[in-house]
Structures are given as C-alpha cells and as structure tokens.
A and B are shown apart, each in its own frame.
Chain A
C-alpha cells in the first residue's frame, strides 16, 4: 500500500513538474523580443524531449559501446581491453548456432506474422461488421499479454510427461490422439524444430497487432479503385493482390519492420521456455546471461553492440522508405 502511494506521488509530482517546466519556459520566452522569440521557441519546446532521449537512449547506447571495449570490476572500475570481449564472444562454442537462431527468427517470424495478420484482416473484412468486431477482438487479445505470461500459457501447451502418466500438454494430447508417443518437444533439435515452437509464440502474440493495422489500411483503400477493378472483370484474388495489396504496402512494410525488430530483440520467450538449452539461445539472451548471471559487463555489452549493428540497417531502411512514401503522397 505504501508503495502504491509512493508511485502515485511520483506520477503526480512528475506530471506537475513537467507542466511547471513548460510553463516556466513559456513564461520566459514571452519576455524575449519578438524576433528572438521566433527563433528560440521551437527549440525550447523540443529541448526537454531531446534531453530525455539523450539521457535515456543515446547516452546508455554510447555507454554500452564504450563498455564493450572494457572490462568492468565489481566496484565499477574499468580497464581497456580492446576487442577482447568480441573475440571471447565469437569464440564461444554456441556462437555460430546463436547467429543461425537469430537469423531464423528474423526470416520466419515477421513474414508469417504479416501474412497471418493480413489474411485475418482481409477475411474479417468480409464477414459483416458485428462478427468482424468479435473476431478482431479475439485475435487482438494475445497482444495484451506480456511475453512471460504468454510463456506460462505455452509451457502448458508444450508440456511433456512420460508415457503412462497424465498428459497436461495440449500438443502431446493431440499428438497421442493421432497415435504418437509423448514427445519432449523442446528437446527435438532436428530441423531446429524446438526453435520454431518458440517462434510460434511470438507469431501468436504479434499477429493481432499486424491484423489491426492492416485492417485499418484495407478499410482506407478507396472503394472506387476496387469498383473499377470489378468493372474491368478482375476476380477476388486479383482484386486483393493487384489492387488492395499495392495500396496497403507501406503499412504492411511498417508492420513487417516493427515485428522484425521485435524478433531480433527476442529474449523473454527463450529465457522462460528453454533458458537457451537444446541450442535455442539467442543474442539478447546471451546479453542477459553474461551481464546478470556471470557479471561480465564487457562481454554482455559486446553482444548488445552486435545487436545494435544488426538493427541499424533495418532502421535506416525503414526511415528512408517512410520518407520516400511521404514524398510520394
């Protein structure tokens, strides 16, 4: 209860202080001569946001990069070790496997998420508005669940008990109904099957998000373009692939990239389900292990830097594409 009040106090105080700062800045610039005011005003209002982004995003990122070349002792003192952290990370016997896993997450999760979201959005668009609302709510629901809660649910789905015992796991129950023997799913490494089982969870979580955005995009496709297609004799699939899809492409791409970045950073699902055992480890989980469990700050930061390096091109592409699209409008 005390914690709750402290939290409430902090929120209220935070808002009040922010309001006060803006009021004060506004008050001060109105005292300035008109010309100076015009120049200063935008920066004054952008300033605090820039400061916060700098403080909580840019500064920690720079710190991470710096620390990736350091060895940090428990008391916080650091020594320069050059590229040693990166060399250590790459020399790990799991490194190659981890990179393959990350690449698989990137290659599989976004494309399936967008495809499934798109399919649901398009199909839901055709069932009548009442049913559409219900269906969309159901598909969106997983989105509201945190990764770790989702992992708990899916642990039950993938649970395993040896033959002769009650099966709690949904997947094994179905599998045995089909005549199979109970399987310890997470231990099946053939074709990276266990990794794919983990990816299913992220797809389940984010397909609803993709659906909502794509559904909105589909609805904003001008009716007359579809009408024109119909008049020219296009069938349903032609209308979808040749008329609707090109018009919602920018949204699809934005969703794709958001999910892609999410898949690159995936960590909680792996930690909660397999803990990286049976060759399911990923880059972000290595960071967690090295930093929190082993206390190797430098090596953990090296993993972060690799992740940043992998994400930057994707973000550059996203920003560029967005600009091009804006310019074309």
Chain B
C-alpha cells in the first residue's frame, strides 16, 4: 500500500511540473521587454493596463535589468517577447533578421507616427529601406545643470552663448569660487560612456547632420578635422587645469552620477554639470525631495550653447520598440506605444521626467516646469542628434568608452586613443 501512495504523490508532482511550465502566449496576450525601470515601469504598465482593458488584450511589461545582454539570451533561448524596447538602437538592428519590419504591419499607422515625431527620430532604426524600430520615449542630453542658489550667491548669471559659458568658466576660476565644472565618467564596466556624450555634443554642432551621421556610421574617422575640433573643445572644458577638481584622473575615477559637489557650499563645490535629464534621480536625497515637491531653489537647467557659427543642435537618446511577430494584438499594442498617446495616461504622474518623442505631445501634460522646459528644448530643436555611440555596433561603443577613459585619465595620448576607436570598426 505504501508504495502506491508514493507513486500517487509522484504523479501529483509530475502534474505540478506540467502546471508550472508557462503556457504559450494566447492570441490576446502581449509581452513587452524593455529597459524602463522603477517609477517609469510602473507608469508604463498602468497605461498598458488601461489600453489593454479597452481592447481586450492582456499586456505584460517586464524590465530587463541590462536589456542589451538579457535580450540576447532570451532570443537565443527561444523566449523572445512580442515587443522589445531597446535603449541602444544600435543593438536593435542586430536583430533585424528575427524582427518584423514595421512597414509590413498593417495595423500600425507608420505614416501617421512618422508625421508627429520630432524630425530625426523616424530613421534611427532602418535597414534596407525598412523601418524596424521607432521611439517610445525620449531623453535630452544637451543640458547643463546648475544650482541657482549658488549662482545667485556668487553673482553669476546663466550663459546664453558659448562665449558666455567660457567667460563664466574663467570668472569662477579667477574669483576662486570653486571649480567651474563637475564631470565624472566612472560607471563600473561601462566607464567612459559619459565622455562619448561630450564628444557627440560637439561633433553634432561642428559637423551638422550629415557629418554626424557619417561619424556614427563609421564613415567619418575620429582622426578627421571635425572630430578633432570637437575633441579640442571637450578637452578645453574638461582637461584645462582648474576646470574640474583633480583633472582627468579624477574625471575617470568619479561616478557619472556624483552630484553632491554641485550642491556643496565649500570651496570644493563645482558649478555646472552637463548630463541627461535622468540625472535628477542622482541628486542628493534632500535636493531630490525638494525637486519632487516643485522647489527649484537649488535645481536649474540650461541648454548647452552651440559654439559661434555652428548648428544649434540638441543631443538625446531614447528607447525604441520593435516587434518580434505580426499577430493582431502585437500590432495593436505597438501602434499604441509608438503614438503620441503614450504618456498621456498615468505615466507622468508616476514618472514626471518622461518625455515623448512626438512634437504633437500636449506640453500641458508636463506638470514639472523643468520637464516642460526640457520638452520645449527637444520640440524646438533645429537639429536633433541621437546618441551616436548607442547607434554604433556594441563593440565600437564599448571601445569608445574604454579609449576615451584611457585618453582622459592620461593613460594614452588623444591620437592613440582615437586610432584605437577607428580600428574597432574592423571588429564590428
């Protein structure tokens, strides 16, 4: 008798294992994997729930902590989602053979979406004349954060032009107020990415759209005059003695999110920090709390001015969505998240820093004046440049991180570092 009871237990266990194997996606279920985390993921899921309820689709969003590496494993294991959202579109196109071109999806209003996007966004993930990915969110990088209280106390004013900014830099130094710039590029295994942004800012401005595109596609070398000019400008800001506390060595060892000195009061404080709109998440707790409560005594932002005679451009980034299949529910959900409707629901109340890539997105939705200001900078941009290193193949991107770190920390000369980046295109 005993033996039989063990057998029946085992049968029950077998049944249980069958039950835990996830069922294949039903026709009205859509899974999305992406890089949105925390409050942004919460807001996104809330909007998906609302859309799903209205259309009879169960939509599940899952955050992949390091999207670019995790999606690779998922796809190879045959566990691709219905929709993927790439923070680095350079990676997206690597998957073009397993993705559905959006042009072929009848329920996605490609022409309509393209019409409302900020110029420059529609062509980021195209291959062979087909569109594989389009933006679901945007962020602006050409922002210089400052502490209005510190500026006021020192009698400084916000620079309108590049010449003003240089003058301001020199004033801060000559009056011994502190250090003009806060710059940190340390980020563990990704150390150096913040330096690529600086290079992109100035290549975009000095080179304009055509040269910028040629550059991130690997057709304009780092040894070219435009990139050299951009490097000179960046070095002038970052590596001039006295501009950043500790110089290049400290820039390489300081975390990209180290904002404490921007709000410090001692002589070691720094006055300006060029960083993307996400940096508000990295402010010290007290400043962050005040910022969330709409107190802007210590937080201000201005657009990184363009050097005289260059294009008044804006650099940014964003997440791009692409479809792994063409079933009806996937198409419907994709059409929703690619449109200017995304963000008009519960997103902004959960995550006030969300930015839409659509120029038609109602700016009244932005309750936070700084987000509104940033949205204005994005929507009015004469030229928008997407983060070039994120568009480049992963191996080139990683080489840029590494070699710019080598250059800034003084381990290599600028020429040695840039030559190594140019050479990395052979490995792509």
Q: Name A297's closest neighbour in chain B (CB-CB).
A: B76
Of the stretches A57-65, A128-136, A226-234, A271-279, the one at the interface is A271-279
How many A residues are at the interface, by size bracket? 35 or more
A residues near B10, Cβ cutoff 8 Å = 16-17, 19-20, 23
B residues near A163, Cβ cutoff 8 Å = 245-246
Given contacts A17-B10, A165-B245, A187-B409, contact A272 B398 (CB under 8 A): no
For chain A, residues 258 to 286, give those with C-beta under 8 angstroms from any C-beta of chain B.
271-272, 275-278
Given contacts A75-B97, A272-B188, A293-B68, contact A20 B250 (CB under 8 A): no
Q: Does any Cβ of B come within 8 Å of A13's Cβ?
A: yes
Is A295 a contact partner of B72 (Cβ separation < 8 A)?
yes
Is A165 a contact partner of B189 (Cβ separation < 8 A)?
no
Partner of A277, one of B249, B394, B402: B402
Binary interface encoding of chain B residues 384-408 relative to chain A, with 1 for a CB under 8 A from any of its CBs, else 0 = 0000000000110010001001100
B residues near A88, Cβ cutoff 8 Å = 427
Binary interface encoding of chain A residues 29-48 relative to chain B, with 1 for a CB under 8 A from any of its CBs, else 0 = 00000000000000000000
For chain B, residues 90 to 104, give those with C-beta under 8 angstroms from any C-beta of chain A.
94-95, 97-98
A23 to B68: give the CA distance in the assembly, Å.
Answer: 45
A residues near B98, Cβ cutoff 8 Å = 74-75
Given contacts A74-B95, A277-B405, contact A293 B398 (CB under 8 A): yes
Q: Does any Cβ of B come within 8 Å of A124's Cβ?
A: no
A residues near B20, Cβ cutoff 8 Å = 6, 9-10, 13
Q: Does any Cβ of A come within 8 Å of B142's Cβ?
A: no
Q: Does any Cβ of A come within 8 Å of B252's Cβ?
A: yes
Among B13, B72, B267, find the residue whose CB has the most chain A CB atoms closer than 10 A. Answer: B13
Q: Does any Cβ of B come within 8 Å of A157's Cβ?
A: no
Q: Does any Cβ of B come within 8 Å of A12's Cβ?
A: yes
Is A189 a contact partner of B411 (Cβ separation < 8 A)?
yes
Q: Does any Cβ of B come within 8 Å of A76's Cβ?
A: yes
B residues near A140, Cβ cutoff 8 Å = none
A13 to B21: give the CA distance in the assembly, Å.
Answer: 12
In the complex, number of A-B residue pairs with CB atoms less than 8 Å apart: 110
Q: Name A10's closest neighbour in chain B (CB-CB).
A: B20
A residues near B13, Cβ cutoff 8 Å = 12-13, 16-17, 20
Binary interface encoding of chain A residues 150-163 relative to chain B, with 1 for a CB under 8 A from any of its CBs, else 0 = 00000000001111
Q: Does any Cβ of A come within 8 Å of B152's Cβ?
A: no
Is B253 a contact partner of A275 (Cβ separation < 8 A)?
no
Q: Name B264's closest neighbour in chain A (CB-CB).
A: A165
Given contacts A16-B9, A76-B76, A184-B253, contact A165 B16 (CB under 8 A): no
Partner of B3, one of A27, A294, A296: A27
A161 to B270: give the CA distance in the assembly, Å.
Answer: 14
A82 to B46: give the CA distance in the assembly, Å.
Answer: 51
B residues near A184, Cβ cutoff 8 Å = 249-250, 252-253, 409
Q: Does any Cβ of B come within 8 Å of A222's Cβ?
A: no
Shortest Cβ gap from B286 to chain A (Å)? 17
B residues near A10, Cβ cutoff 8 Å = 17, 20
Q: Name B244's closest neighbour in chain A (CB-CB).
A: A162
Q: Name A12's closest neighbour in chain B (CB-CB).
A: B13
A162 to B243: give the CA distance in the assembly, Å.
Answer: 13
Is A13 a contact partner of B72 (Cβ separation < 8 A)?
no
A93 to B390: give the CA distance in the assembly, Å.
Answer: 24
Shortest Cβ gap from B100 to chain A (Å)? 14
Among A23, A73, A186, A293, find the residue whose CB has the most chain B CB atoms closer than 10 A. Answer: A293
Is A276 a contact partner of B16 (Cβ separation < 8 A)?
no
A277 to B191: give the CA distance in the assembly, Å.
Answer: 8
B residues near A272, Cβ cutoff 8 Å = 188-189
Binary interface encoding of chain B residues 1-27 relative to chain A, with 1 for a CB under 8 A from any of its CBs, else 0 = 001001101101110110110000000
Given contacts A12-B13, A23-B6, A278-B411, contact A295 B394 (CB under 8 A): yes
Q: Does any Cβ of B come within 8 Å of A111's Cβ?
A: no
B residues near A16, Cβ cutoff 8 Å = 9-10, 12-13
Q: List 9 A-B contacts (CB under 8 A).
A: A10-B20, A20-B7, A88-B427, A165-B245, A271-B189, A275-B190, A278-B409, A292-B73, A294-B394
- Residues of B whose CB lies within 8 Å of any CB of A are 3, 6-7, 9-10, 12-14, 16-17, 19-20, 68-69, 72-73, 75-76, 94-95, 97-98, 188-192, 245-247, 249-250, 252-254, 261, 267-268, 394-395, 398, 402, 405-406, 409, 411, 420, 427
- Residues of A whose CB lies within 8 Å of any CB of B are 6, 9-10, 12-14, 16-17, 19-20, 23, 27, 73-76, 88, 93, 160-165, 184, 186-187, 189, 271-272, 275-278, 289, 292-296
The 4 closest A-B pairs by CB, nearest first: A162-B246, A20-B10, A275-B189, A16-B13
